[in-house]
Chain A
Amino acid sequence: MPSEISSAPAPPAAGGDRLLEVIGLSSQYGPVRAIHQIDLGVSAGELVAIVGGNGAGKTTLLHTLSGLQPASAGRISFDGQDITRWPPHRIVAAGICQVLEGRQVFAPLTVEDNLRLGGYRQRRDSAWLGQQQERVYTLFPILAERRRQLAGTLSGGQQQMLAIGRALLGRPRLLLLDEPSMGLAPLLVEEIFRVIVELNGRGVTILLVEQNARAALAIAGRGYILETGRIAKTAPAAELLADDDVRRAYLGY
């Protein structure tokens, strides 16, 4: 089960059969085009980063993948199925789970209730949910300590952990992470990124969207540069880190 965070190491990231295949995807808010003609693929076991500045369309892209934002053109296929027009709850059930930008935990509910709601689509499989919840608590011991506390009273870093834990309870076959480093202190960013690497090591396929390009490309296998709604460049992450244009525009040296 690739979604189990305690499962075997990731299969090799090869081309060929893509878990997620996006072709010519566009989305717009009214007449304003947010993303345009995006081609993108993620294979099972990969950790792929999408980096770009503010307003480049990163969040719109993720929201379109998870069904929160309608696509105006193009096609998204997941595990061979066309999911372009699926409603969000079906996409979650299929295994695409999103960690939203800015955490967005259910503040007035307890940590435990947040996690249980993360497993809403898996609610009939209580045995798996129980195990997975324990795994999340092992991954983030602080959440276990605060399981009865209201999510809104957690610190930003803890809320980010809760948001990731909540998504993990959705049994992700593909985990979408939207700006997990946003607003966190450098030490916490390091901690969160360490967990992302660990999850990927345990077989979770991850699509990571980040403004913090250096940190994201440092852990990703491949990367896409998103500029004003279009893919400007794609390459193995190491190449992007060494690329002069990318360095000047996104890494600041």
Chain B
Amino acid sequence: MPEQLFQFLVTGITIGSLYALVGLGFALIYNASDVVNFAQGEFVMLGAMTAIALLNAGLPLLVAAVIATLLTVGVGLLLERFAIEPAAGASVVTTIIITIGAAIFLRGVALLLWGKDFHSLKPFSGDAPIQIGGATVLPQSLWVLGVTVVLVALVRAFFNRTLLGKALLACAFNRTAAQAVGINVKVMLRLAYGLSAGLGALAGILIAPITFSSYEAGVMLGLKGFSAAIVGGIGNPMGAVAGGVLLGVLEALGAGLVSSGYKDAIAFLFVLMVLFFEPTGLFGHKASERV
């Protein structure tokens, strides 16, 4: 039984890492604009599908992954430039609805390009399982974990150590004041969309060898990533990471101990419970401001 629990834990942390990356993307855009970008899941799908297509076209894996990520970043920037920026000044809700529209559009484009079939990427370093403490770990899981740790550390350093990162946060805290100190809010918004798209694409490429990918693959991943972000306290990047891992582990435990049919239900039930008892998320900023 302990081995089995350990196995669930490993599975949970792997899938949770993905939720964390997607959640991080949500947090970035939310920080820059108070907007929840519901096309975040589509970035994941685009990263995976483009990488698969490029690989099938004969490119080596690493090159395909890099190009797929850059292309998805490009899509993120285009989305910002042609769907979000023209609506500058519109309410947050309007902008969120625009992102939902963009998500549907991107899904449609993917459907036209790649059809309804499921596609798979070959694992980065084979699929011979590794035994760790009684649990069977796929090499791809280690890739997921390793890359996630590196990306999270980079994003954390970006916000904690760089002026650019703080400028991005400043836009979230007080947009008028950010403009008044000379931060170009438009540039920050583009940066947020570009980074989110890149994180999403990488998540998609990492997970593609484990779960199959299709034009619709972004929908559920997007929802889970969004859940991770709100469980962690939306706008708190590291909270989104913790929320993602927590969600993944709970899901894996639920699937293993109860029934895999309830996997998604357990995750969303957890989100509801968190929102019920701790509406600002588990790691959300408690409002502490003197006026």
* A binding-site residues for B, Cβ under 8 Å: 66-68, 87-89, 92-93, 97-98, 100, 102, 104-109, 113, 116-118, 120-121, 123, 150, 152-156, 159, 166-167, 170
Q: List 28 A-B contacts (CB under 8 A).
A: A66-B180, A68-B180, A87-B184, A89-B183, A97-B180, A97-B181, A100-B176, A100-B180, A104-B174, A104-B176, A104-B177, A105-B174, A106-B177, A106-B178, A107-B173, A108-B169, A109-B166, A116-B163, A116-B166, A117-B183, A120-B181, A120-B182, A120-B183, A121-B182, A123-B163, A156-B290, A167-B180, A170-B182
* Residues in B neighbouring A120, C-beta threshold 8 A: 163, 167, 181-183
Cα A55 to Cα B223 in complex, Å, equals 45
* Residues in B neighbouring A88, C-beta threshold 8 A: 179-180, 182
Cα A153 to Cα B178 in complex, Å, equals 19
B256-291 with Cβ < 8 A to chain A: 285, 288-291
**9 other contacts beyond A106-B170, A107-B173, A117-B170, with CB at 8 A cut-off?**
A89-B183, A97-B180, A104-B174, A104-B176, A106-B177, A116-B163, A121-B182, A167-B181, A170-B182
A-B pairs, top 3 by smallest CB distance, nearest first, are A92-B182, A121-B182, A104-B177
- Closest Cβ of chain A: how far from B52's Cβ, in Å? 41
* Residues in A neighbouring B288, C-beta threshold 8 A: 150, 152-153
Cα A108 to Cα B176 in complex, Å, equals 15
* Residues in B neighbouring A68, C-beta threshold 8 A: 176, 179-180
Cα A93 to Cα B180 in complex, Å, equals 11
Interface of A is mostly: mixed
* Residues in A neighbouring B177, C-beta threshold 8 A: 100, 104-106
Cα A106 to Cα B173 in complex, Å, equals 6
Cα A154 to Cα B184 in complex, Å, equals 27
Contact: B163 with A154, CB < 8 Å? no
B177 to chain A: closest residue by CB = A104
* Residues in B neighbouring A155, C-beta threshold 8 A: 290
Contact: B167 with A117, CB < 8 Å? yes
Q: Mark B175-194, 1 if CB is under 8 A from A, else 0.
A: 01111111110000000000
* Residues in B neighbouring A118, C-beta threshold 8 A: 181
Interface residues on B, range: 20 to 34
* Residues in B neighbouring A107, C-beta threshold 8 A: 173-174, 289
Cα A166 to Cα B180 in complex, Å, equals 10
Cα A195 to Cα B212 in complex, Å, equals 65
- Closest Cβ of chain A: how far from B89's Cβ, in Å? 11
* Residues in A neighbouring B170, C-beta threshold 8 A: 106, 109, 117
Contact: A109 with B163, CB < 8 Å? no
Cα A167 to Cα B178 in complex, Å, equals 11
* Residues in A neighbouring B290, C-beta threshold 8 A: 152-156, 159
- Closest Cβ of chain B: how far from A8's Cβ, in Å? 26
Contact: A117 with B181, CB < 8 Å? yes
* Residues in A neighbouring B169, C-beta threshold 8 A: 106, 108-109
A67 to chain B: closest residue by CB = B179
* Residues in A neighbouring B180, C-beta threshold 8 A: 66, 68, 88, 92, 97-98, 100, 104, 167
- Closest Cβ of chain B: how far from A204's Cβ, in Å? 17
Q: Which of B163, B174, B184, B285 is the one whose CB lies under 8 Å from A106?
A: B174
Contact: A89 with B166, CB < 8 Å? no
Cα A12 to Cα B174 in complex, Å, equals 37
* Residues in B neighbouring A97, C-beta threshold 8 A: 180-182
Cα A192 to Cα B180 in complex, Å, equals 20
A116 to chain B: closest residue by CB = B163
Cα A104 to Cα B170 in complex, Å, equals 11
Cα A120 to Cα B181 in complex, Å, equals 7
- Contacts known (A106-B173, A107-B173, A117-B167); A156 close to B291, Cβ less than 8 A: yes
* Residues in B neighbouring A89, C-beta threshold 8 A: 179, 182-184
